[in-house]
A = this chain, B = another copy of it.
Amino acid sequence: MFQSRAFSGLLTDLYELTMAAGYVQNHFDPRATFELFVRQLPRHRNYLVAAGLDQALDLLENVHFTSEEVSYVRDLPVFHQVGSEFFDYLSRFHFAGDVWALPEGTIFFPGEPLLRVTAPIADAQLVETSLLSIMHLQTLIASKAARVTGAADDRPVIEFGSRRAHGVEASVLAARAAFIAGCTGTSNVYAGHHFGIPVYGTQAHSWVMAHEDEAEAFSSFLDVFPEQATLLVDTYDVRAAIDKIIARGRIPSGVRLDSGDVLADSFWARQRLDEVGWRDVQIFVSGDLDENRIEALLRSGAPIDAFGVGTALSTSADAPSLSVIYKLVEVELDQRIRGTAKFSADKQTYPGRKQVFRLRDAKGAYSGDIIGVEDELFPSAELLLIPVMRNGRRLEPAKQDPAACVREAQARFLANRAHLPEHILGTAPTDPPYSVSHSARLKLLSEEARQSLLRAAHL
């Protein structure tokens, strides 16, 4: 959500409310810790990029239930036998817990907590669904954008996917996440305004079609934008369109190819433009691009100056979801801390509050991560999780400027990427993958939790 104060407590799954009711009515109120992480990499992926934290903290600072919303909950059939204590709890509810997180723009791997929430168990449970949905969207898109910007090999990539992002909120937040992972800008004006992201775009096919004559369409656009016109040349015939522009003699800032054989047309266009001395006229390519198509075009030497990438980026088309989960890892009962985990056959998790320790080789490149217990020490390792919220308040004295926050995240991503081993950076899946191990202490804690469950089961 890009509008603070709009966070309704109802933006959650019903079972978060029933469980919270269970905890409140049973007077079971230990502090609990949940960790949000990605279970596994999508196919063909080598790494992930953390994004969405600023919006997640907005949620935690603002989520509440109006009295009308509490009435709605009270009237649901499932709550008919639940006493008033729970509804009083909802009316008073605000999030007052502690949060640790990976800063936005951090490159990370499956199993590594993106976010760790410690709060009274009902509170921490209530915010699960929204936290997942918020962190998932931007982490998903940033992880995709990293591949696209990597494939473009320092050529600018503009995020063009608003129309097919999953709704208007997703379109704005996809633009934000794409910028964090190296995009140069977006077509989304709201994202430009709200997050200070550079915005790009000039004309669509409809502009050309609205005029009876294509050459006239180009001229009338240049009348209004004499120095800022990237003309779209594929409405009818790319080469005829470029010839018409040249014949009229007014130099646009660029031409855009959006369909057809863009490889052949880009070569033809560059040569034709150079012939008339229009060497500064840029060739901009868009239309069903993704990281693989961009790599193939550049491998063929296509003289393309910049790319516009839409649907594939704004929906993460090859992997439209990540296996993000929010798992209970610890319950604090009577001064006793109990690590919790799930041990079903196909979905094991690890107990206890964790930290991610990142190691470097002699040249400074990342050489591997260790997922360990929160207070472990690994000399010279970087600690990736940092405290970001205490008692429901951000640790930054005030909320940061949204634009500064996004720029800082992009800088962090670019610095992270510069330290990632070459073989992890490619668009093809790498074998062996980046090394992520669990510390001996974490494994021991896990085995203890398992034994303790087995004992309980046989009581």
Contacts and interface: CB of A to CB of B under 8 A. Distances in A.
Interface of A: 1, 3, 6-8, 10-19, 21-23, 25-26, 28, 30, 32, 34, 69, 72-73, 76-78, 81-82, 121, 125, 128-130, 132-134, 136-137, 140, 160, 162-174, 187-190, 192-193, 199-207, 209-210, 212-214, 220-221, 223-228, 234-237, 240, 259-260, 311, 315-317, 320-322, 324, 326-328, 331, 338, 340-347, 452-453, 456-457, 459
Contacts of A459: 213
B22 A221 contact: yes
B13 A163 contact: yes
A164 B214 contact: no
Contacts of A12: 162, 188-190
B340 A210 contact: yes
Contacts of A320: 166, 315-317, 320
Nearest to A459: B213
B225 A18 contact: yes
A317 B328 contact: no
A226 B81 contact: yes
Contacts of A72: 192-193
B202 A163 contact: no
A136 B171 CA distance: 12
Total copies of this chain within the assembly = 2
B77 A260 contact: no
Contacts of A8: 190
B167 A214 contact: no
Given A11-B188, A134-B167, 18 more contacts: A12-B189, A14-B200, A14-B202, A15-B201, A21-B224, A22-B207, A22-B224, A69-B193, A128-B206, A133-B162, A133-B163, A134-B168, A136-B164, A140-B166, A165-B166, A210-B331, A259-B344, A260-B344
A9 B344 CA distance: 49
A315 B187 CA distance: 23
A236 B166 contact: no
A225 B13 contact: no
A169 B133 CA distance: 9
A18 B170 contact: no
A220 B28 contact: yes
A259 to B, nearest CB: 5
Q: Which 6 A-B pairs have the closest CB atoms?
A: A15-B201, A166-B166, A320-B320, A14-B201, A169-B169, A132-B163
A34 to B, nearest CB: 7
Contact of A133 (B11, B121, B168, B328): B168
Contact of A11 (B73, B172, B331, B341): B172
A346 B259 contact: yes
A10 B343 CA distance: 48
